[in-house]
Amino acid sequence: MGKKPEMLRRIGMVLALLLCVALVGSPAWAMGHGNKKPAKKAILLVTFGTSVPRAQKVFTLIDKAYRKAFPGVELRWAYTAKFIRDKVAKRGIVWLAPEEALAKLMAQGYNRIAVQSLHVIAGAEYHDLLRVVHGFNGMIHGFKALVGNPLCATTDDLRRVVKLVLAAAPKGRKKGEALVYMGHGTHHPGGVAYPALAYVMRLNDPLAFMGTVEGYPTLDDVKEALLAHKVKTAYLLPFMTVAGDHAMNDMAGDEPDSWKSVLEKAGIKCKPVLKAITEDPQVIQVWIDHTKAVMKHFK
């Protein structure tokens, strides 16, 4: 009587051992329902977009820099501005919204997505993106997407970007000539980045000023500061991802309410420069560093 249970116990142990070997040794078993899938990484670059073809060249620069920094990682783009997506669609160009691009990546089996906000500050577009990505994270098991900070998110970013931007200022600038940067501006709480940028600029260069098209500081604030400093000539430069519609029209246009017209009326000679801050590879590197910080979570 005593031998039979002992034998059964031994057979049970051998079976259990065999099962363990099968589980560890066979990927078919390990990949079964509920088990961890291998990481399939992708980077999704998300920008506002521009309908100005010439301004789109910075996207090519950014794309090239990313392919160099992250070789072998799937790279995709998405555009947050619906009216711009609709505009380029009429020319036969398909630009996806972030939610469309994420759905496509998810359907194709990508499960570790670094979503990089190519916005300048953490404003409305960036926060919309956070909400979209958050929704995707809860959708299916094993899918993880994280958002990389926009260009000027932390105070360290602000100081780094301002130094780079000022270093790339026009070489022909003479003593007493001012630099006026035009940011976009926003009603969103993230818009506090603009007066912060203005402050950091003035610390680095007493004649470098920052204003915004749609927020604070305003063009009037900039005009008053220029007059108080007795500035006679000012370079006008976009502090934006692209030198698109705002730069060409609101900043450098001939309409009576453009920055150029308003400042020239106040006796300040204007030299508009249609060059985006992102044309400097070192500025693109700031975004790349933000993406690297996200990719660290996928190791």
Residues ≥6 apart with Cβ < 8 Å to 85: 49, 79, 95, 96, 97
Q: Other C-beta atoms within 10 Å of 73: how many?
A: 16
Candidate list 119, 127, 134, 184, residue with the active-site label: 184
- Look at the block and give the residue holding tokens 């098991």: 141
d(CA 242, CA 222): 22
**Residue 173, CB-side half-sphere exposure with 13 Å CA sphere:** 24
Q: Other C-beta atoms within 10 Å of 205: how many?
A: 14
d(CA 183, CA 181): 6
Determine the 3-state secondary structure of 213 from DSSP: coil
d(CA 252, CA 233): 14
Determine the 3-state secondary structure of 117 from DSSP: strand
Q: Are strands 233-238 and 269-272 parallel, antiparallel or unpaired?
A: parallel
d(CA 256, CA 151): 32
Residue 151 in tokens: 């260009």
DSSP annotation of 164 reads H
Indicate if 184 belongs to the active site: yes
Give me the active site residues, please.
184
